[in-house]
Amino acid sequence: MINQNSQHIKRKKPRFLRQDWHKKIKLGSQIKKKRKWRAAKGGDSKVRLERLGHARRPKVGWGNRKQDRGKIKGLIPVRIENLKQLENISKEQGIIIASIGRKKKLEIISKAKEKSIIILNKYKPEPGQNAVK
């Protein structure tokens, strides 16, 4: 019997990509944005027939547990645009810094570091800046 209170480890999901995506530019061989799942409809399609060695198909069983959905690294993501919004963050929330200027961004990063709040979209330090961890 599995302990219900134990930490759930997320399993690795395969990338669900369209059949022959690697062969054609319009299906996403060079443009990542176009790599999306579309069901195979060919009569002899090995993906549709779920043959071994071919791409996996998305199914109901690949979903996350209900309490884990929408979380990043086990934290509920919250978009932050200013220091006032940073005051309302709890420990089970992680912040995503919005598209803002460098000065305000550095203020938010330093304040979050003081309060030991996890930043989910870390930025590379700009030349001349210290690395923020």
Q: Quick: pLDDT tens for 28-38.
A: 999 999 999 99
The answer to whether 120 and 98 have CB atoms below 8 angstroms apart is: no
Taking residues 102-121, what's their average pLDDT?
92
Q: Pinpoint the alpha helices (H) of 43-97.
A: 83-86
Comparison of pLDDT for 132 and 83, the residue scoring more: 83
Taking residues 116-127, what's their average pLDDT?
79
Do 83 and 57 share a domain, yes or no? Answer: no
Kindly compute the dihedral angle of the four CA atoms of residues 101, 85, 70, 76, in this order, to the nearest 10 degrees. Answer: 120
Beta bridge partners of 119: 95
Which residues constitute the domain of residue 55? 16-63
Beta bridge partners of 76: 93
pLDDT digits (tens, 9 = 90+) for 46-68: 999 999 999 999 999 888 888 88
Do 71 and 115 share a domain, yes or no? Answer: yes
Nearest to 21 by CA among 38, 7, 4: 38
Do 38 and 80 share a domain, yes or no? Answer: no
Q: How many domains does the chain have?
A: 2
Q: Is the entire prediction scored with pTM above 0.85?
A: no
Do 24 and 55 share a domain, yes or no? Answer: yes
pLDDT digits (tens, 9 = 90+) for 5-34: 556 666 788 899 999 999 999 999 999 999
pLDDT for the residue numbered 2:
47
